[in-house]
Amino acid sequence: MEEAQYYAIIGRGEAPSDPSGLARRIKDGDQTIDQSLRRDLSWGPTTAITTWDYGEDLTQDLRKISKQEAGDLIERFQEKWSREG
């Protein structure tokens, strides 16, 4: 059974309510796949979650969010990025 945990990616200088990226960790049995949302709204491989789990890097933070919050964030990104072109 596939399940996903979503993470808002919050860079330094960014408000937690205004993240600049979205990542997800999909677990399917023993398999774990980490992905982040691209500007074309596709999902691509990422090491952001692994880096955050390790805890050494001070470039960005991740915050666990629900699937509903992730959906809202994708809508916000879609609107913002289509406006920016």
Partner 1 sequence: MTISDEPRSAGAVRLHQVAAGLTAVGLVTHLHRTRAGTDLTATLHLPGHHDIEVIADEDGYTELRYWCSLNSTPATHVATIARLLKALTTSQSLANRARQASERVAGYDGAVTERAEGVGMTGPHDHLAEQGRIPDQARPREADNPHDSQVRPDDLQARLERLPPNHPSSPYRDDGSRKPPPPDLTKCELPLPDESSDSPSGPDLPADDEAQTHPDGSWEWKEAKLSLERSLIADQAIGRCHETEGRDVNGNYGDRGLTPAMRRIEVQLEHGHLVEDTEKFALKDPDRFKEKFAKLIADRPGRDPSELVQQINDGVRYTFIYEDAEYSSGVMEVSGAIAAAGYELYERKNAWVDETKVYQGVNSTWREDSHGVLFEVQVHTPESWQAKQESHTFYEVGQSLTSTPEQRADAARRQKEIFAEVSIPPNIRDILSYRKEGW
Binding partner 1 (rule: CB under 8 A), the pick from 80, 82, 83, 85 is 80
Binding partner 1 (rule: CB under 8 A), the pick from 2, 3, 16, 39 is 39
How far, CA to CA in Å, does 13 sit from each of 19, 21, 52, 69?
10, 14, 17, 21
- Of the pair 44, 68, the CB lying nearest partner 1 is at 44
Binding mask 14-33 for partner 1 (x = CB under 8 A): -----xxx-x------xxxx
Which residues are CB-contacts of 65 (< 8 A; sequence separation ≥ 6)?
A: 6, 7, 8, 73
- The span from the CA of 50 to the CA of 69, in Å, is 21
Query: Which residues of this protein are in contact with partner 1, per CB under 8 A?
Result: 9, 11-13, 19-21, 23, 30-34, 36-39, 44-48, 50-51, 53-56, 58-60, 77, 80-81
